[in-house]
Amino acid sequence: MKIFGHRGAAGLVAENTLESIAEALLYPIDGIEIDVHLCKSGELVVIHDETLDRTTNGKGNVSDYTIRELKKFSSEEGFKIPTLEEVLHLIDARCNLNIELKGKNTAIPMVKLVEEYIHKTHWEYNHFIISSFDHPQLFEIKETNSKFKIGVLTEENITAVLPVAKELDAFSIHPPITTLTNDEVTLAQEKGLRVYVWTVNTENLIKQSKKWNVDVVITDFPNFV
């Protein structure tokens, strides 16, 4: 079973920051999960919410600010909002990267940026898994560049999204730990799909996931493993 740090290492250092990602890289992880939104000047920025309010000292919508303006805001600890480009640079293909397309219209800018990195650095398609609850954005990726591995995110159980996963020719299904059953893990895997479960934050749930043959657990606490 593989371990991915959630929003970097969100349980240890402020989520979706370069500092949180650097913390996650201190542990023997296989990958990191991050959330992206598009800002006013066109860059992809790494932040979970549509607004700045919960995680920074800024206010309002991320999409109303340019990257220069966003860089003036910080978390309580003084950590800045990173761009996806800064994250690619920091990780430098040392582990896999699960990019969650959280904001609208992020699919095509993500494809363009990552293609460029794959072309000019040692990042490879195989390092990436692109997931979203916004399934139409996943179809956009499939139509633009079918080399990207697609992960179908769901708040429901695996069964609910098997049809869309099939249509997308997805690599994986990403259900919450709260809806997971051993039978559903088996069902997905019999159909050739990997199972990435979030957010698995106790040692007991990590053990149970392993027993159920889950492929990847996404955790706020990569230090548990």
Are 162 and 191 a contacting pair, CB within 8 Å?
yes
Residue with tokens 């920074």: 56
Q: Does 220 bind ligand G3P (CB under 6 A)?
A: no
Are 91 and 97 in contact by the 8 Å Cβ rule? The answer is: yes
How far apart CA 221 and CA 152 sit, in angstroms, is: 23
Percent of residues in the chain assigned helix, strand, coil, to nearest 5:
35, 20, 40
Residue 218 within binding range of ligand G3P, rule CB under 6 A: yes
Output the smallest distance, CB 199 to ligand G3P, in A. 6
The one of Ca ion, ligand G3P, none whose footprint includes residue 83, by CB under 5 to 8 A per kind, is: none
Active site residue 119: no
- Binding residues among 76-115 for ligand G3P as defined by CB under 6 A: 100
Based on CB atoms, which residue is closest to ligand G3P, 23 or 33? 33
- Interface with ligand G3P (CB under 6 A), residue total 10
Nearer to Ca ion, 109 or 187 (CB): 109
33 binds ligand G3P (CB under 6 A): yes
Minimal distance, residue 73 CB to ligand G3P, in Å: 20
In 3-state terms, what secondary structure has residue 191? coil
Question: Residue 29 is encoded by which pair of tokens?
Answer: 């992880």
Whether 48 is a known active-site residue: answer: yes
Do 63 and 103 meet the contact criterion of CB atoms below 8 Å apart? Answer: yes
Active-site residue list = 6, 48
What is the binding site for Ca ion (CB under 5 A)? 35, 100
